[in-house]
Structure 1
Amino acid sequence: MAVNKRAAGADKEQLAARYLVDNGYTVLERNFRNKTGEIDIIAKKDNYIVFVEVKYRSNNKYGYAVEAVNYRKKQIIRHVAQFYMATRYKSCDIPCRFDVIGIDGETVTHIKNAF
């Protein structure tokens, strides 16, 4: 039986969002996109805007989930984050960071300031 990757991805993004809320974050946006790309979750904690990329692997045959965020993906996330900040906030003084949540099977790994 084939697994619907889109549904599985949405399920894991929901798990990541719950993880963030359980750890004191406020989720501001999910699947924010523009013509450049998409950011899975945008959250806020301690006055930081946090841009979160969620990656899932059912097993580590091809590496761990957090290892799947390559240079190109980081560049896309940075560009989308710049667009988000420019359209949502007038001040340039709001700190932000880029996190990765990797889900390997049922294990959640949260890397703060990943890039």
Structure 2
Amino acid sequence: MDGFFKKLIGSLFFLKNILKKTSDVQPHKKALGKKGEVVAVKFLKKKGYKILQRNYRRKTGEIDIICYDRGSIVFVEVKTRGSDSYGPPELAVTEAKKKQIIKMASRYIAEKKVEGIDLRFDVVSVFYPPAKKHPAITLYKNAFTRTCS
């Protein structure tokens, strides 16, 4: 039994260290994401977008920014990265994420009783290159449609 308990205790310490490392990373990622959203809002306002809502949340998901641009309600997903080791930020918008955003957009439209207005799905990519003060911001208009696969 002694060997069993030693292994169990060793496993628990290993797991504790993994969880500690994971939780240490999360606040940084969240802070970077929030910073990216703030930058994206300023960027969109300069482009003439009218911000209607930020962080529209329900149990089934979230939309980062909802705005109005030239006769369309625009649902914006913001992706922010501090390095390019996982590729550019916009590639993090997966098919599953697109479907979730589309569902959330439908819910928003139903809640607000919006009819007869065009909808659009944009992505804003915010990249903070190492050792640079200002981020690179790219807007992808019509990044995906309601009929995406």
Shorter-chain TM band? over 0.9
Aligned to 2:63: 39
Give structure 1 stretches of 5+ with no counterpart: none
Runs (5+) with no aligned partner, structure 2: 1-23, 129-134, 145-149
1:18 and 2:42 matched: yes
1:112 counterpart residue number: 141
- Rounded Cα–Cα distance in structure 2 between residues aligned with 1:67 and 1:90: 30
Q: Percent identity?
A: 42
For the residues of structure 2 that align with 1:14 and 1:59, how far apart are their CA atoms? 19
Q: What's the TM-score, normalizing by structure 2? A: 0.73
1:71 to 92, 95, 100: 95
Q: What amino acid is aligned across from residue 110 of structure 1 in structure 2?
A: L
Distance, in Å, in 2 between the alignment partners of 1:90 and 1:58 is 37
2:52 — aligned with what?
Answer: 28
Q: Does 1:57 align with 2:81?
A: yes
Aligned partners of 1:22, 1:49: CA distance in 2, in Å?
17
List, as ranges, runs of 4+ consecutive aligned residues in structure 1 with deviation greater than 3 Å: none
Q: Which letter does structure 1 place at the counterpart of 2:140? A: I
What is the count of residue pairs matched by the alignment?
A: 114
Moved more, 34-43 or 4-13: 4-13
How far is the alpha carbon of 1:32 from its aligned partner?
0.1
Give 1:98 shift: 0.2
Q: Which has the higher contact order (CA 8 A, sep 6+)?
A: 1
Deviation at 1:6, TM superposition (A): 1.8
Q: Distance in 1 between matches of 2:119 and 2:110?
A: 13
Q: Which has the larger radius of gyration?
A: 2
Shift of 1:34: 1.2
**What RMSD in Å do the two structures reach over aligned CA positions?**
1.4
Distance in 1, Cα, partners of 2:101 & 2:41 = 17
